[in-house]
């Protein structure tokens, strides 16, 4: 099995964040550890690139509650979809 691409890792991280919304806040290290458990040969730098791509693309955002967490962007109450 070949190592997943940065895009594939980003998609998996996005799923983790989406599934944890409302249950617990995930830190970037939580995501990195989960990916490295699933794919032991994946480098931490590749995970960081995947997180950066999620943040840069707007699919995820950093939230600060006594620490830095990764979440899905909140929809504003007045936002028009």
What's 41's domain CATH number?
1.10.10.10
pTM, rounded to two decimals: 0.86
Structural tokens at position 33: 């550890």
Query: How many folded domains does the chain comprise?
Result: 1
Tens of pLDDT, residues 11-67: 999 999 999 988 999 999 999 999 999 999 999 999 999 999 999 999 999 998 888
Q: Give a yes or no: residue 63 inside a domain.
A: yes
CA angle (45 as vertex; 74, 14 as ends), nearest 5: 25
Please check whether residue 1 lies inside any domain of the structure: no
Cα 53 from Cα 51, distance rounded (Å) = 5
pLDDT in tens, 66-77: 889 999 997 665
């Amino acid at each position: 099995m070949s190592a997943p691409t940065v895009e594939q890792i980003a998609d998996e991280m996005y799923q983790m964040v989406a599934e944890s919304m409302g249950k617990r806040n995930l830190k970037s290290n939580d995501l990195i550890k989960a990916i490295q458990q699933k794919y032991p040969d994946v480098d931490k730098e590749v995970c960081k690139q995947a997180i950066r791509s999620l943040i840069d693309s707007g699919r995820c955002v950093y939230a600060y509650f006594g620490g830095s967490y990764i979440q899905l962007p909140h929809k504003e109450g007045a936002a028009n979809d």
